[in-house]
Amino acid sequence: MSRTGSQQRTLVGILGLLRPHWTDPNFPGRLDKLLSGDRRLGSRDRRFYRELAYTAVRYLPWVDPLLDTEPSEAVRRIAWLASDVAGMDEFRADMSAGLPPCPAGAAQRAALLGCDAALLTPDWMRGECPSIGEAPLRDILLSRAPLWLRLQTDDPAPVFREFTAKGLPWKQSGLLKDAVEMPAGTDVSRTAAYLDGKVEVQDIGSQRVLHEVSLKPGGHWLDACAGAGGKALQLALLLGAEGRVVARDSRKAALDELSLRAARAGIGRRISVGGTSDPRDGFDGVLVDAPCSGSGTWRRSPHLKWSISPQGVRDAASLQLRLLRENAPRVRAGGLLVFATCSLFTSENAALVDAFLKEAGPFTAEVRGTSLLPQDHDGDGFFVASFRRTDQS
C-alpha cells in the first residue's frame, strides 16, 4: 500500500472513532488523547491528522454523511479543503486528483464539490449574527487562524533577530505594534524570547479589547474572569510599573498557569493572582471578560459551532449579566467597568449591554459596544463595551 493510501486508511479510522463526539465540547481533548495514544504516530504525524480532523469538523455537513457510504470521497474532500501542514501537499495531490486548486470562498468550494454552502452554518445562528452565513465572515471562520504573539519588551529587536535566525517567519501587525503574526502551528515555546517572557501567546483580537477602552497608567484593576491571564498580563503592562491587577477565576489550574506566566514576564509583583480583597473605595477598573459561546473562536475551535445551542447561548447571556451585576459594585466612583466576550452573537453582546444599562444605576455607556471581527485583523472575533460609574459616592 502506498504512503498516502495508508494515511487515508488511518484517517478513516480516526474519524470513525471521533464521529460519536463531534458535538462534545471537549472534542479537542478527545482528539489529542486519541492521537497521542497511537504509538505509530510521531509529532509530525499528529499535526497532520489533527489538521485533517479539524478540517472534517469545519466542513462537517459536507463530510460526515459520506463516512458510511463513500469514505474515499469524504477523504478526498477533506484533503482538498485542508490547510497546509507538513506532508499535506503530497496527500492532497494524491487524494484530490482531478479537482482544481481549492478556491478561497466557501461558495466557490461548494459549487465545485456540488455541496450547499448554507449547511456550513446552522440556520438559527443567522438570527444571532446575520452576516455569519455569508462572506467574508463565514469564509474566514472556516479558515485556520495564524499564531499571534504579544511583545512584552520595549526592545523587540533581539526577539526578531532570534526568530529570523531560527527560520521562524514573523510579521508585525499594522493595527497593534505589539502584535506579531506567525504561521499557524509555529512552536515558540523553546525560543529564548518566550522563555525569558519577552513574548506571550495572545490572539490579536484579544489584544485589541483593552485598546478599545480608556486606560490610565497606575490604576488598580480587577480582572474578574482572568482564566490563564492573557488580558491580565497585558493589562498589568498597559498600567505600567505603578499599576496593580487582581486576577480572579473559579478555575485554580488557570490561575496557576497565570502565576507562571506573570513570573516569566517579570511582572509577578504587579498581579495578585487569586486575591480576594477589594480596595475600600473600589477598583479603578474592573474587566469582566465573560464566559461565552466562543463563536468568535471557531477558527481555532471549530467544534464549538456544532456543540452550541440556542439554549446554550441564553444560558451564557444569563451568566454574563449575573457577572456584570456582581462586579459593578466593585468599581469606584468615576471608575470603569469593561465587558468583553469572544462571541459574535447579539444575545451575548449588544442585547446584553442593553439589559445591563436598563438596571445599571450609576453607570453610563462609554463604549456602547464594538465588534472586533475576524476579517478585520485575521484573528478571533471579540466584542467589547465599557461603562463609566458616574455617581460621587
pLDDT in tens, 188-228: 999 999 999 999 999 999 999 999 998 999 999 999 999 99
* Three-state secondary structure call for residue 171: strand
How much is the pTM?
A: 0.94
Domains, in order of start, for the chain: 3-115 (no CATH), 147-201 (3.30.70.1170), 205-389 (3.40.50.150)
For residues 126-143, give the mean pLDDT: 97
* Three-state secondary structure call for residue 228: coil
List, for residues 76-113, the tens digit of each pLDDT value: 999 999 998 888 999 999 999 889 999 999 999 999 99
- The string of DSSP letters for 356-369 reads HHHS-SSEEEEEEE
Least confident of 66-70, 197-201, 276-280, 343-347: 276-280
What pLDDT sits at residue 290? 97
Q: How many angstroms from the chain centroid is the CA of residue 160?
A: 24
**How many whole angstroms separate alpha carbon 157 and alpha carbon 164?**
11
What pLDDT sits at residue 152? 96
At a CB cut-off of 8 Å and minimum separation 6, what does 204 contact?
A: 148, 173, 175, 176, 179, 181, 377, 378, 379, 380
**275 confidence band (pLDDT: 50, 70, 90):** confident
Q: Is the pLDDT at 393 greater than 60, yes or no?
A: no
Other C-beta atoms lying within 10 Å of the C-beta of residue 318: 13
Residue 204: all three cell numbers together: 490579536
> How long, in residues, is the chain?
393
Q: How many angstroms from the chain centroid is the CA of residue 41?
A: 27
Tell me the CA distances in angstroms from 271 to 122, 248, 275, one per residue in order. Answer: 41, 10, 9
